[in-house]
Amino acid sequence: MAFFKWPFKKRKVESFARNATLKLVPNHVAIIMDGNGRWANSRGLPRFAGHKEGMDNVKRIVKVANAQGIKVLTMYAFSTENWRRPKQEVDYLMKLPKEFLNIYLPELIEENVQVKMIGHRAQLPAHTQAAVEQAIEQTKHNNGLILNLALNYGSRAEIIAAIKAVAGDVSANNINIDDIDEATINKHLFTTDLPDPDLLIRTSGEMRVSNFLLWQLAYTEFWFTDVHWPAFTEAEFVKALDAYQQRKRRYGGL
């Protein structure tokens, strides 16, 4: 796949976005990065151009999230349903994690970011697995922002796998069926060592969760924007964080 020369300038990280003062910062922000193809089409560019610019935007948003003290940033990079796209596009999408990490891993290490991944690794190409595993290994001792990449992830499959694991424990008499609770399920999810998201952001105007973190989003605040992911600036991100300040989370109470 040839690289394109983009007819637009790289944006500088907006200092006011990095330095914005927020009283209530969500611990865990999850983002459905939608609209790469539509962003490219609106500019007369191939879809690959949108995916490339979307990849670069991940780093810009990571920088702001880290500066704001967010603990976990989960990015929906590739779903189990995305395999249905044209092979050429899928092949390109599978190259992006390696390209992203080759470019930005030294900076992520310097900024104390820890890389994690949720999803089924075995189906990913070997080069994608190797790049992600290398990043996880090289950042495992970092204790700053967790950049959690959702690759080949589907929430229904995750929940089914958790149920099967619990059923296996019951069958082996490792647990009594009456003792099964939320913690039992959580133990077998990809996110077992992470808090549930406080804020979900979806770009590009779609208002659905698309098989993303269905169990974990039970009490999450949602924020939707019409802005396509490649155009989702640092200021837009802070706008979402600011909207979170206005929410009162009741968890079913008053």
Q: Which residues are catalytic?
A: 34, 82
Q: Which residues are annotated as a binding site for Mg(2+)?
A: 34, 221
Q: How far is CA 70 from the centre of its chain?
A: 13
Q: At 107, list the tokens.
A: 């900076």
Q: What residues are designated binding site for substrate?
A: 35-39, 47, 51, 79-81, 83, 85, 202, 208-210
Q: Could you tell me which residues are annotated as the binding site?
A: 34-39, 47, 51, 79-81, 83, 85, 202, 208-210, 221
d(CA 32, CA 195): 18
- Reported residue count of the chain is 254
CA nearest neighbour of 31 among 227, 169, 254, 163: 227
Cα 68 to Cα 19, 118, 150, 186: the distances in Å are: 8, 23, 22, 27
Do 236 and 60 form a contact (C-beta atoms < 8 A)? no
**Rounded distance between C-alpha atoms, residue 139 and residue 116, angstroms:** 9
CA distances from 170 to 109, 122, 173, 195 (A): 42, 27, 5, 26
The answer for residues whose C-beta is within 8 angstroms of residue 134's C-beta and 6 or more apart is 101, 105
Place of tokens 């009594």: 176
